[in-house]
Amino acid sequence: MNYRLVKDVLDLVQEFESQNEGSASYDTSVEGFKNWISTNNNTIVNEPNWEGKENGRSAESVINTLIVHLNRYAKSYSKSAIFGSNFSTQEDFIYLINLKAFGEMSKMDLIKKNVHEKPVGMQIINRLINQGWIEQRNSKTDKRSKVISISETGLQALGNQMDKIRQATSIVTGNLSQKEKMELIRLLNKLDDFHQQIYDRNIETEDLLREALTFKIEIK
């Protein structure tokens, strides 16, 4: 038996578990381990070009711009998907999809799941209540609060638009291959996990940049 090889593999497993701890960027499985090895041993031979790179524009700058652009593209497709329906915005059907997928929850839980500030989220929820698409009742565990759920009318409204919503969702991923989609999901999950930890702290706006930068330094 090649004990040196076994030791090297065990060292790799230890490094994998150490890096993956807390972030869960990869599945704790053989497949996740293989993906980690593939990612961490791929040297970028040809660094991609981007607009303004020759003038010193940073990777962080272009990533921010591309994310903003993709959000706007997605919104335009969503707007087309709900054209002619009773949905006002894409947030309406996203809130309904969350309630359908995860069941009843408090208003604040639904707002947080969609990463909205309370006033914006409450406006969306009240609009859905007025449409009769969600129902609210007193919480069984806390009589001071209410829980909401999607109604039969809401399920029907969502069902009427789901084909077009799925089409819009499909267009957003463009011409990515299946492998590229899986890698993008992994990277976006990593970013989402990072920002979710900051979001959950409910930091005041005036302190957000300072606290977020401190957090970024701490987890490096």
Residues 202, 150 within the same domain: no
Is there a single domain that holds both residue 92 and residue 186? no
Give CA 97 to chain center in angstroms.
Answer: 14
Please report the pLDDT score of residue 44 as a whole number.
45
Residue 2: its pLDDT value, please? 67
Q: What are the beta bridge partners of residue 146? A: 138
Residue 103, number of CB atoms within 10 A of its CB? 10
Q: Could you identify the residue written with the tokens 């309630």?
A: 99
How many whole angstroms separate alpha carbon 211 and alpha carbon 201? Answer: 10
Q: Within this chain, do residues 86 and 192 fall inside the same structural domain, yes or no? A: no
Residue range of the domain that includes 189: 175-220
Does residue 102 sit in the same domain as residue 200?
A: no
Q: Which residue has the higher pLDDT, 48 or 168?
A: 168
Same domain, 182 and 106: no
Cα–Cα distance, 46 to 177 (Å, whole number): 20
Indicate the DSSP class of residue 85: S
Higher-pLDDT residue of 22 and 136 is: 136
19, part of any domain: no
Same domain, 206 and 132: no
**Mean pLDDT across the stretch 26-31?**
81
Enter the pTM of the model.
Answer: 0.74
Closest CA to 78 of 89, 68, 86, 62: 89
Classify 30 as helix, strand or coil: helix
pLDDT in tens, 36-46: 777 776 544 46
Helix orientation angle between 90-102 and 59-81, rounded to the nearest 10 degrees: 90
The pLDDT of residue 27 is 80
pLDDT band at 18 (very low <50, low <70, confident <90, very high): confident
CB 148 within 8 A of CB 164: no
Contacts of 8 (CB under 8 A, 6+ apart): none
The pLDDT of residue 1: 63
For residue range 67-121, list pLDDT tens digits in order. 999 999 999 999 999 999 999 999 999 999 999 999 999 999 999 999 999 999 9
Q: What is the pLDDT of residue 45?
A: 46
Using CA atoms in the order 65, 71, 76, 78, what is the torsion angle rounded to 10 degrees?
170
User: For residue 40, is it within any domain?
Assistant: no
Paired residues of 137 in beta bridges? 147
Q: Is 53 contained in some domain?
A: no
**194 shares a domain with 118:** no
Rg (CA), the chain: 22
107 and 193 in a single domain? The answer is no
Beta strands in 78-214, from DSSP E residues, in sequence order: 105-106, 134-138, 146-150
